[in-house]
Structure 1
Amino acid sequence: MTPTDRSVPPWTPVVSPADARARDTVDPTPRRVVTWVAVVAVVVIVAVIVAALVAARRLAETESVRDAADRADRIADVLVQPELTDALLSGDPGATAAVDAVVRDHVLSDSIVRVKIWDADGRIVWSDEPRLVGQRFGLADDELEALGGAGVDAEVSDLDAPENAYERGEGKLLETYRSVRTAEGTPLLFEVYFRYDEVLQRSGQLWQGFAGIAVGSVVVVLALLAPVLWRLLAALRSARVQREALLTRALEASADERRRIAGTLHDGVVQDLVATSLALSAEGAAARRRGDAGTADGLDTVAGSVRSGIGGLRTLLVDIYPPNLEHAGLASALDDLATATRARGVATTVAISGDLRLDADAERLVHRVVQECLVNVVKHAGASAATVTVEAATASAGATTAGRPSGQAGPRRVVVTVSDDGRGFDPATVDHAPHGHFGLRLVTDAVRDAGAALDLATSPGRGTRWRLTVAAS
């Protein structure tokens, strides 16, 4: 089976450009954090204001009902009770006229539409509506409690009740009642009916005051919290900048350290070994000229071992730091990787075609992916041959992509394929790579960070193909 065997299974996505967008939703930027905070703040503020306004409305209505009850209480104490006598209970004209004059001149108004005075038996002994006088209705429990001196009570009138037959044309009413006494001490029930519109109007006035206080309090709290939030966001931005700077310095330090190690090995140990190899070869040749074949063979063997070690060190230098990627370009760097792979017993070819036009970051990504794939070919695949192809491409001419009509070429891309004829593996294990495949996890993270795509085609016994797709510059 060859690296280009058509029996290799179809591609399975390992990393797609959408993975980078999905990661951003998990690892939000400061702008997203600000947006989230703003949305949550708006929702909380609206909820607080709505709750405050509803509570203020209920409180205002409660206060307006209490105001009506207090008003009825003062009317009873100041105006009505001083005019009450037991003669009113028997319908005495003088007693009736005295109460009638006070109520009609000082009580009835646009807001008060009805007044009733009851005795303990539920008989209406006086009302501004003459048709009610003398009629008897049962008193409810709360009215009996009020009659017993339990204070002032207020409730919305039940206009369907028989005693309220003459108030039904007045709209919604609030009735308040309390106990009063005649001059002789007889308890009576004094009842006043207020227009509920007046209650609502008063409630609206109170609500405006309560609402202003509630909304103003929220605004003040927000004004006090705004500097704190601003400092937190500034700290978040600063921490993000510092983290990115630390990561950048760490990467730069890693690259500098690899460059230093590679330079030290190349200029020190490798050169010393080259000199040792040359010296051994020269001594072997001299021994052979002297006729000492045994010594010459031994020196040649040692010189060969030293040259083999030099080859291994140079392969290691390519793995540690590929200088050709920076100075000679991607093609030379990939050739170096192929050379190192061939030195480990895997016949490796590199084919580069087309105008690649990759920026420095994309070239580093391509090199890193190819390097890791070839390392896996040597360590895990058990392959005899591998192929690296790099070619420029565009989206399929007949494909339909977002925002582009079918038939137009897509954006330029570079497709890198690394294939081998090794043992292959189950692609489902990629997400659960063992310790030996840690480099593969790092590669997938790098591809995801770059917004590129990485696909895999493999199965046990059928070789492996990796395909990296990056956008061209």
Structure 2
Amino acid sequence: MSTPRGEGGSGAVQRWTSVARPADRTTASAADPRPSGVVAWVAVVSVLVIVAVAVAALFAARGLAEAESVRDAADRADRIADAIVEPALTDALVDGDEEARRAMDEEVRDHVLSSSIVRVKIWDDTGRVVWSDEPALIDRRFELDEDDLEALAAAGTGTGTGVEAEVSDLTAPENEYERDRGKLLEAYRAVETPGGQTLLFEVYFRYDEVLQRSGQLFAGFAGITIGSIVLVVLLLLPVLRQLLRALDRARVQREALLERALDASADERRRIAGALHDGVVQDLVGASLAVSAESGSARARGDDTTADGLDRVAGALRGSVGGLRSLLVDIYPPNLARAGIGPALDDLAAGVRSRGVAVVLDAETADELAALDDEGQRLVFRVVQECLANVVAHARASVVSVTAVRPDEGGVVVTIADDGAGFDPELLTRPEPDHFGLRVLADVASAGGAGLDVQTAPGRGTRWRLALPASAVAAPPAAVGPGSRP
């Protein structure tokens, strides 16, 4: 006899594919199921979304805060130009008058220079430094860049006196005296002397002051952003809870419908089997007996030809009765309810053997299965019946074995293995009509606290493994000792 291919067969070792995971058959209830997979998926996606939104929002808040702090510095420079520098400007300052320079120096040092402002420069349109708090720069000429020239030209035409701000290029020659001050932000705008000459006022801020202001603004933005996200999450929690409850109810209803479908199928098989047994089978048995009796009478009259014909008819009738009885066992084995799982599986095996497939079902397996409670026996029978039906219909197998073992951790593990064609286990995840029965059994196994796995590959046979928990094993009857009541 050949051996079904699987873990011990030829070829590469195949992996077990989970078809159903066990649910807790002692604590799970239809009223309060826990769809851990859905909850985990929603939790992971929610966390990823929240983190992504929070990170993006914080980056945006940081950028906005820095931009806002730069605008604050530019506004401060604009106010300094309007309130302090421009009122102190004189045409004499442009001409290099020392008294005008001392007056501007006093005004700037008293009201402009501070811990955050480190340098002030005033330029004319030729690139000459008209005045600076750094005396070494006064009357020196440098090339003005395009932004400086545009600011002067716009002010000269009356089209604008807006403040521009940018990070200082400390490598430029005009900034050689600011290189030891660290990163700086320069803001500049056009100003006018009383005589109408346009000059360029430039003020240098410490960038760490800008960053400090940016940090203050960022803290406010971040608080609002994180608070908004938390508020949205809190508002969505009731919606998520309702969604999960709806999924729970749908799952419970689906499992109940599947269970009813199986029960209704069993009831219908029982009804059909009863109708066939009490009707057609009994009629055929009666007809067979009547034909046999008529054959005996014909033979007694010496009409052997008629008797031989009647014997052939009686044999055909008996063959039909045997075939119908085998079909009745497949439809509904009466031994499951009357004699237990062992005889019921024997009936299933007989039906499969009649179709040319050898079935190995030893007594030890029957003994192990007999230890199961009624629910466990019904589950085993359903799974074995469906697997054997698939072997006959699809596997093209020559032998199939049904074994049961009791692992050390308790419970019972049932294995149905064949040496047939096998299949791609990925097919079980697709909505194929041929696999509806197995999907139903997977849900029933899970609801019954059992796990259902498959190990298969094209051309390498199929092994089904049904793992029932220790709670499915019926408690042994209590021993009756001396003095105890039977």
| TM-aligned CA deviation for residue 199 of structure 1 | 0.9
Find the partner of 2:380 among 349, 358, 362: 362
Q: Distance in 1 between matches of 2:202 and 2:330?
A: 101
Cα gap change, 1:135/1:225 in structure 2, threshold over 3 Å: closer, same or farther?
A: same
Please name the residue that 1:398 is paired with.
none
Change (3 A) 1:453 1:158: closer
Give per-residue Cα distances to partners, 1:264-302, cap 9 Å, x unaligned: 111222223333444444455566667777776665554
TM normalised by structure 1 equals 0.76
Aligned positions of 1:401-416 closer than 5 A:
none
Q: Does 1:328 align with 2:339?
A: yes
What is the rounded CA distance, in whole Å, between the counterparts of 2:76 and 2:51 in structure 1? 37
In structure 1, runs of 5+ residues without a counterpart are 23-28, 396-407, 420-424, 460-464
Is residue 141 from structure 1 mapped to residue 159 from structure 2 by the alignment? no
Q: Aligned to 1:205, which of 203, 209, 216?
A: 216
**Are positions 1:258 and 2:269 aligned together?**
yes
Give the conservation status (yes or no) of the 8 Å contact 1:81–1:180. Answer: yes
Distance 1:303 1:18, change over 3 A: closer
* CA deviation map 1:166-218 (0-9, x unaligned): 22222211111111111111111111111111111111111112222222222
Contact 1:117 1:189 (C-alpha < 8 Å) held by counterparts: yes
Q: Which string of whole-angstrom CA distances, capped at 9 and with x for unpartnered residues, describes residues 11-41 of structure 1?
A: 569986334379xxxxxx9322221222122
Conserved? CA contact 1:175–1:191, under 8 Å: yes
Secondary structure of 1:357's aligned partner: helix
* Secondary structure, counterpart of 2:362 in structure 1: strand
Q: Number of residue pairs matched?
A: 430
Letter in 2 for 1:72: A
Alpha carbons of structure 1 residues 183 and 337: separation in structure 2 relative to 1, 3 Å: closer
Amino acid in structure 2 at the alignment position of 1:365: V
Match of 1:166 in 2: 177
TM-score (norm 2): 0.74
1:17 aligns with 2:16: yes
Q: What letter is aligned with 1:109? A: S
Q: Is the 8 A contact 1:16 1:452 kept in 2?
A: no
Aligned pairs for 1:237-256 (under 5 A) are: 237-256=248-267
1:185–1:46: structure 2 CA closer, same or farther, 3 Å change rule? same
**CA offset at residue 62 of structure 1?**
1.0
Q: C-alpha displacement at 1:159, in angstroms?
A: 1.8
Gaps of 5+ in 2: 22-33, 370-375, 446-450, 474-486
Report the Cα distance in structure 2 between the residues aligned to 1:120 and 1:457, rounded to whole angstroms.
Answer: 87
Structure 2 counterparts to residues 266-285 of structure 1, below 5 A: 266-282=277-293, 285=296
**Which residue matches 1:157?**
168
Over 3 Å counting, the alpha-carbon distance change for 1:5 and 1:258 in structure 2 is closer
Contact 1:331/1:352, CA 8 A, preserved across alignment = no
Contact 1:176–1:191 (8 Å) recurs in 2: yes
- Cross-structure match for 1:83: 88
Cα RMSD, aligned residues only: 4.1
**Match among 324, 328, 341 for residue 313 of structure 1:** 324
Q: 1:403 is matched with which residue?
A: none
Aligned partners of 2:20 and 2:453 also within 8 Å = no
Deviation of 1:325 after TM superposition, in Å, equals 3.1
What amino acid is the match of 1:265?
L
- Pairs within 5 Å for 1:31-42: 31-42=36-47
- Measured against aligned partners, the alpha-carbon deviations of 1:375-420 in whole angstroms (never above 9, x if no partner) come to 789xx78xxxx8776556689xxxxxxxxxxxx999975666778x
Does the 8 Å CA contact 2:424/2:456 hold for their aligned counterparts?
no
Contact preservation (8 Å) 2:386, 2:438? no
| Larger displacement relative to structure 2 (301-310 or 44-53) | 301-310
8 A Cα contact 1:337 1:371, kept in partner: no
Percentage of pairs with the same residue: 55
Q: Verify: 1:48 aligned to 2:48, yes or no.
A: no
